[in-house]
Structure 1
Amino acid sequence: MAEAEVDDVFIDDITFPAVDGYALGATLFLPRGAKQHAVVINSATAVPRKIYRKFAGYLARRGFAVLTYDYRGIGDSRQRAMLGYNRPKSLVGFKATMADWAALDITAAVKWMRERYHTLPLTYVGHSFGGQALGLLANNNEVKRALLVAAQAGYWKLMASPERYRVYALLNFAGTPLTRLLGYMPGWSGVGEDLPKGVFEQWVRWVMSERYLFDDPDLRTLSNFPRYAGALRSICLSDDPWATRPAVELLCTGFKATTPEILTIMPADADAKTIGHLGFFRPEHRDTLWRGAAEWWRRKADRVTARFSYSDIKQPASSPLSPSSFRGA
């Protein structure tokens, strides 16, 4: 595994074992100088780790040791070996669920970074599903700070209209028949990367449930939500039709041992025309969104010297679906 030096950052493509031994494809970004924080970036559904490469490099140049990786069945973790046996290229018959991603893959990523950088504070970045999964981890108490980006309880009726109707039709009238026919959910249908059948089917059940994953009676790891007691900041992008403010608030009600800080950011706050569900990680946000995140982690946000600080954003009044409305989550 050769280590390359790019723009004052060491970048190493590696593998590390999931909880069950499945080898996950990953990339480690290291600063040349002293390391101040360890960061694990956890992907959205059907999104490969390469989407986060520029953001990870930005953080590494500022003293963060950063890990990005692919969940099983995605990107470089699609054809990795498990217990010495090669997985087939096709996802037909590939056994995985979203609950597996959390319990086996994300849990292992947190453990791997915690053990490797045990003297550094551990920071968690969760994009969409990656943010949802924080509450499912048995070892989420190892995380000191968590930044959730566009992470929501994704019930379809909490999505913005007309996107909610497109999603409903895609999942039920196109995705479900395709998955049953092919044995996996093809990315060309509009979801991103190909998805294992079990992942897609569990995702559909959650999206069709009023309280999303909180309504899953078989999801025993929901009991881990109250274990997380670290700092929690959840970013809601105002033009994101998937992770709307009510959906973000609903997810945050599960974190009962901490006080989530929910910030709604409009594109104008970041000198942008659009941001959307994926846009936070675009490199044009280096001096705005990315800088705000890095400063929050370092506890050095300065409203006078910083060009952009999340504390400058004026927040809207509580939405009709406020966190207090879902205290049973």
Structure 2
Amino acid sequence: MNVHAGIGYEDQWFYSGGQKLRGRFFGTYTRPRAVAVLHGATGVPQRYYAKFARWLAEARNIACLTYDYRDFASSARGSMKTSTATMADWGVHDQQAARDHVRSLVEEVPLWVIGHSLGGMMLPFQKDLDQIDRVIAIASGPAHVTGHPYPYKVYAAAYWYAVGPPATYLAGYMPGKRLGFGNDIPAGVFWQWRRWCTTRGFFVGDIGTQLPMPDWNGVKAPVKVVAIKDDALIPPKSVWGLMDYYRGADKTQMVVDPDAYDLDGIGHIAPFAEVNRAIWADLIA
């Protein structure tokens, strides 16, 4: 195990079906207060969450596993053009594999699921939901292209209709880096993500085909749903739509206002950025 700033971490490899995923485990295997799996947002590599995971282990004695979805970032193998990955693969199979893996590492402490964006939405499609002791979903919810505030609504429409489709056809994957739309992602992830975000009902059309049947009442553990006030991608109204995904849980809601922490802004991606660490204790409180 390596040590960084007093906190041990260890690189991990585990399988999701036949796909080998790379993760990193922060903290101790012996007697942490809890163990968490951190499911990241679409197109956000696990390295972005490292400082939050270290803080979680050091300041709260909660061990944490971060990881990258298949065919992305440190889990990428070969050309992204050959990837067959879909959003369902990331959100159902890879998230399930990561949760199973962290439970195998630390067995006799409470299991937390911390989800950012996509990371907080897909639990109803997974198994063994009774083994989860707490869920914290941050900036997560069913977004629709018409539900963003201006001017982000124009940006989103351009991404889904004008720029993203032809770029993905031509490149064989979504070339986000070249276009200024974040990181590159596999074509199958982009197309399914696009369908969900431009369809009323979000992923309802894929249930029973690309998605298994959900268990909306399966999570019985407490669920904390956190919205970021200045999040234009998944604004608070969209975040509250997540509440219906956890019908059997005791749910609480929180809105994080940057002004309350003397921050210039947070937005969708930056809740886990070190510059915004002032909000971290409240995210998990």
Q: TM-score range by the shorter chain?
A: over 0.9
CA distance in 2, matches of 1:215, 1:231: 28
Q: Quickly say closer, same or farther: Cα 1:115–1:76, change in 2 above 3 A.
A: same
Q: Quickly say closer, same or farther: Cα 1:143–1:33, change in 2 above 3 A.
A: closer
1:86-105, aligned counterparts within 5 Å?
88=78, 90-105=79-94
Report 1 or 2 for greater relative contact order, CA contacts < 8 Å, sequence distance ≥ 6. Answer: 2
Aligned residue number for residue 233 of structure 1: 224
Would you say the 8 A contact 1:206–1:213 is kept in 2? yes
Find the partner of 2:49 among 30, 36, 52: 52
1:210-229, aligned counterparts within 5 Å?
210-217=200-207, 218-229=209-220
Aligned residue number for residue 104 of structure 2: 115
Would you say the 8 A contact 2:2–2:8 is kept in 1? yes
**CA positional deviation for 1:279:** 1.6
CA distance in 1, matches of 2:213, 2:181: 25
CA distance in 2, matches of 1:191, 1:141: 37
Would you say the 8 A contact 2:112–2:134 is kept in 1? yes
Aligned residue number for residue 165 of structure 1: 154
CA distance in 1, matches of 2:4, 2:245: 40
CA distance in 1, matches of 2:50, 2:148: 28
Q: The residue matched to 1:73 in structure 2 has which SS?
A: coil
Question: 1:70-107: CA deviations, max 9, x gaps?
Answer: 0012111112xxxxxxxx2x111211111111222110
Amino acid at match of 2:216: F
1:270 equivalent to 2:268? Answer: no
User: How big is the alpha-carbon RMSD for the aligned residues of Structure 1 and Structure 2?
Assistant: 1.7
CA distance in 2, matches of 1:63, 1:110: 18
Would you say the 8 A contact 1:25–1:70 is kept in 2? yes
CA distance in 2, matches of 1:29, 1:48: 16
**CA positional deviation for 1:285:** 3.3
Q: The residue matched to 2:14 in structure 1 has which SS?
A: strand
Gaps of 5+ in 1: 80-87, 297-329
Q: Quickly say closer, same or farther: Cα 1:160–1:135, change in 2 above 3 A.
A: farther
Aligned residue number for residue 154 of structure 1: 143
Question: 1:95-122: CA deviations, max 9, x gaps?
Answer: 1111111222110111111222110100
Would you say the 8 A contact 1:175–1:185 is kept in 2? yes
Q: Quickly say closer, same or farther: Cα 1:190–1:131, change in 2 above 3 A.
A: farther
Output the TM-score relative to the length of structure 1: 0.81
Q: The residue matched to 1:225 in structure 2 has which SS?
A: coil
**CA positional deviation for 1:220:** 3.6
Aligned residue number for residue 25 of structure 2: 28
The alignment covers a number of residue pairs equal to 282
Would you say the 8 A contact 1:40–1:67 is kept in 2? yes
Tell me the percent identity: 29
**Whose radius of gyration is greater, 1 or 2?**
1
CA distance in 2, matches of 1:208, 1:25: 31
Amino acid at match of 2:123: L
Aligned residue number for residue 6 of structure 1: 4
CA distance in 2, matches of 1:164, 1:273: 22
1:175-214, aligned counterparts within 5 Å?
175-188=164-177, 189-214=179-204
Amino acid at match of 1:50: R
CA distance in 1, matches of 2:29, 2:118: 31
Q: The residue matched to 1:209 in structure 2 has which SS?
A: coil
Gaps of 5+ in 2: none
